[in-house]
Amino acid sequence: MKIAFITFEYPPFVQGGAGIYAKNVTRKLAKLGHDVHAITPRLKQSINYEVKDGVSIHRIDFIDKPLLRAPSYWLNLRKGFRKIEQEVGSFDILHGNTTSDFSLDKGFTKGTPRAITVHHLARDVVEILRPSLFTRIKDLGGETGLAPLIERTCIHRADKIIAVSEYTKVKLASIYGVALDKIEVIYNGWEERSFAFSEKEKAEVKAKYNISNGKPILLFVGRVDDRRKGLDVLLKAFKIMLTKRDARLVVVGSGNQKPFRELSSSLGIMSQVIFTSFVDDLTLQRLYSICDVYVCPSRLEGFGLTILDAMAAGKPVVATKAGAIPEIVESGQNGFLVPANNENELAMTIMQILDNSLQAKAMGENNRKKVQMHYSWEIAAHKTAAVYAKLASI
């Protein structure tokens, strides 16, 4: 089938789970023999059109300013989409990644069957974080700004909805009244890569970030200034931990670090916290390989791809009972779950793993096996193609 895959995020611009999903599912669909066209914003350093890993990538010009990114992309998308259709012919399926296809209304696309992938609901984020009106205005182009209004339109006009977790499926039904038989749950996969590094390679990454040898290492990966990710809670939990044992916390992710550096300083833990900012994939793999515990303190996760990476690296996980995380982490088997926003229990649970090396090792081995058996982008692509086939036959 000829597929138009509309997505805000696509390499080299990948900020989170939606971008990782877009990259992997389109490449695997192309490998299955489908004619996949990814339509995405054009960054300054990117060219308008290229074919990579079997995917035809069409990049649409937009205004790269915080409040103008999404509106300018949607405005230019209509004209760009028509031009692409004239060049390659009409599409069998239109697949929107979150709200990326907002401006392509049903009349414009002439009845082309359409699917949408929902990672988590913006309205769910608003209900959990309860941001102030001022915060929502500042985040007008983000998921607490206009997104809760826009996602309703995109969801209700889709012929089929792909949810990345059972949690998201339930929320689609409860918040927007979507019929359950309209929703297909397709779990994300993990990017198959090796986490086996030599002691020299591990020592190099420790030296690069001045990570002390012999100290337990906790790892956090996520956009640091996204309140959903709960880094503030982890820093407070780490302070509690340090009253009982020495350790190091490595914080990996882009975003404004200043508030969290200030929080670390006020807690008196700045010398034990390492902020790396954004890192390349190889460095990230090495950081997973040297950590003793992966910590996910999120207030909401539609799936939890960083947890899969930690599991693939054979690490025990301490995470919150938030969103879809309990679908991935079985407490007591491959990690432990704690309530969100509870720094005391988070601290105690991390220490419980650090104090029991045999349990930690067994959990890590369980994780490695679980990821390899149950989470695959090939499986996700096959199931997505099956959704397309149903839509094409309607």
The structural domains of the chain, ordered by start, are 2-189+376-392 (3.40.50.2000), 199-374 (3.40.50.2000)
Helix, coil or strand: residue 277: strand
Residue 346's pLDDT is 98
Dist CA 289 CA 211 (whole Å)? 13
Residue 392 has pLDDT above 90, yes or no: no
**Closest among 316, 326, 322, 282 to 300, alpha carbons compared:** 322
Residue 225's pLDDT is 85
Q: Which residue has the tokens 């209509």?
A: 78
Dist CA 277 CA 85 (whole Å)? 40
Check residues 188 and 134 and name the one with the higher pLDDT.
188
Alpha helix stretches (DSSP H) within the chain: 17-31, 69-88, 122-129, 133-138, 147-157, 166-176, 199-208, 231-242, 258-267, 281-290, 305-312, 325-328, 343-354, 357-374, 377-392
Q: Which residue has the tokens 């096996």?
A: 369
Helix, coil or strand: residue 4: strand
Angle at 336 between CA 333 and CA 339, to 5 degrees: 145
Residue 125's pLDDT is 85
Q: Residue 55 gets which letter from DSSP?
A: E
Label residue 365 by pLDDT band (50, 70, 90): very high
In DSSP terms, which residues pair with 49 in a beta bridge?
58
Query: Is residue 18 within 8 Å of 223, Cβ to Cβ?
Result: no
**Closest among 33, 20, 7 to 385, alpha carbons compared:** 33
What do you get for the CA distance between the two ends of the chain, in Å?
15
Strands 248-252 and 217-221, bridge-based pairing: parallel
Residue 194's pLDDT is 84
Residue 138 has pLDDT above 70, yes or no: no
Query: Is residue 245 within 8 Å of 204, Cβ to Cβ?
Result: no
Dist CA 316 CA 297 (whole Å)? 14
Q: Mean pLDDT across the stretch 169-190? A: 96
Helix, coil or strand: residue 51: strand
Q: Which residue has the tokens 């902020």?
A: 275
Question: Quick check: pTM over 0.75?
Answer: yes
Query: Is residue 3 within 8 Å of 95, Cβ to Cβ?
Result: yes
Q: Which residues of 252-280 are buried (b: 16+ CB within 10 A; e: fewer)?
A: bbebebeebbebbeebebeebbbbbeebe
pLDDT in tens, 243-290: 999 999 999 998 899 999 999 999 999 999 999 988 999 999 999 999
Lowest mean pLDDT segment, chosen from 10-14, 65-69, 75-79: 65-69
The CA distances from residue 240 to 234, 281, 318, in Å, are 10, 31, 16
What percent of the chain clears pLDDT 90, i.e. is strictly above it?
A: 80
Label residue 140 by pLDDT band (50, 70, 90): low
Tokens describing residue 81: 């989409």
pLDDT in tens, 181-228: 999 999 999 888 888 899 999 999 999 999 988 899 999 999 998 889
